Amino acid sequence: MKASDQRESLRVLEERVVACRKCPRLVRYREQVARTRRRAFRDEVYWGKPSPGFGDAAARLLIVGLAPAAHGGNRTGRMFTGDRSGDFLYDCLYRAGFANQPRSITRQDGLQLTDLFITAVCRCAPPANKPLPSEIRNCRPFLAGEFDLIRPRAVLALGSIALRGYLAMLKERGLIESFSPYSFGHAAEYALPGDLPRLFAAYHPSQQNTFTGRLTKPMFLAVLRRICRYLDRAESSPRALPASAPAR
């Protein structure tokens, strides 16, 4: 597929994501949060819609998260933007050479991703950060569409729900037979059948994990650097880092 056709297909898919109202519980919750707002953001206009994936259309790495945060992605309209999880994630992505800046505050803040596309198994902020299995299934065609268009060489699942959601998409399409060989663990790595992307896993950069020390930046960076080494080997030549990014 031509790069221009790929970008147009991603744009059309993004429009489908943003217009989705398949899950009544999530629609009610995301819109209620957008109306009531948190006191710290009371003067802002919340996005209040599903958050599409974003990043480099030619990415070799696909990061799969859980869902937008109620006052993060649901407020700003971009995954991991405007919350503590995003502060942690983008600082690590910047250090590893995947982002041009270490923070993501709004959709207009100039953030650019290189060789990376970020998505999630659920596109609406769920109550208590817990989407129902049926809600994840409703989002699965969006993940499948991005997967087909991006055609990554590696996938990083953030958390066990993201891992299961990604594997469920593959199983539903007959690309794997079972989940059982691929259990979640931080820094887990799996070679999947055929030419499927190499699968990596890491703890989700939620405050529950980062504030307690269960996940630290050195731990997360170690996973990213392992992915970079794999991609470099897979392509047989190292990828060039953006000029603004620190060396790995």
The structural domains of the chain, ordered by start, are 3-235 (3.40.470.10)
Phi, psi of 84 (to 5 degrees): -65, -35
Contact 237, 229 (CB under 8 A): no
Token representation of residue 43: 């003067």
Nearest to residue 165, comparing CAs of 182, 140, 186? 140
Token representation of residue 185: 């663990």
Contact 85, 207 (CB under 8 A): yes
Q: 124-150 b/e with 16+ CB inside 10 Å = b?
A: bbbeebebeeebbbbbbbbbebbbebb
Strands 54-55 and 116-120: antiparallel
Q: CA-based Rg of the chain, rounded to a whole angstrom?
A: 17
Q: Quote the pLDDT of residue 235.
A: 78
Note the Cα 75 to chain centre separation in Å: 17
Q: Quote the pLDDT of residue 3.
A: 86
Q: Quote the pLDDT of residue 89.
A: 98
Q: Is 3 exposed, middle or buried (0-12, 13-18, 19+ CB in 10 A)?
A: exposed
How many angstroms separate the CA atoms of 56 and 63, rounded?
A: 12
Q: Quote the pLDDT of residue 4.
A: 87
What are the residues whose beta carbons fall under 8 Å from the beta carbon of 183, sequence distance 6 or more? none
Token representation of residue 120: 């999630």
**Tens of pLDDT along the chain (248 residues)?**
788 889 899 999 999 999 999 999 999 999 999 999 999 999 999 999 999 999 999 999 999 999 999 999 999 999 999 999 999 999 999 999 999 999 999 999 999 999 999 999 999 999 999 999 999 999 999 999 999 999 999 999 999 999 999 999 999 999 999 999 999 999 999 999 999 999 999 999 999 999 999 999 999 999 999 999 999 998 764 444 433 344 33
The reported pTM is: 0.93
Phi, psi of 221 (to 5 degrees): -60, -35
Helix/strand/coil for 154: strand
Q: Quote the pLDDT of residue 236.
A: 62
How many angstroms separate the CA atoms of 135 and 124, rounded?
A: 9
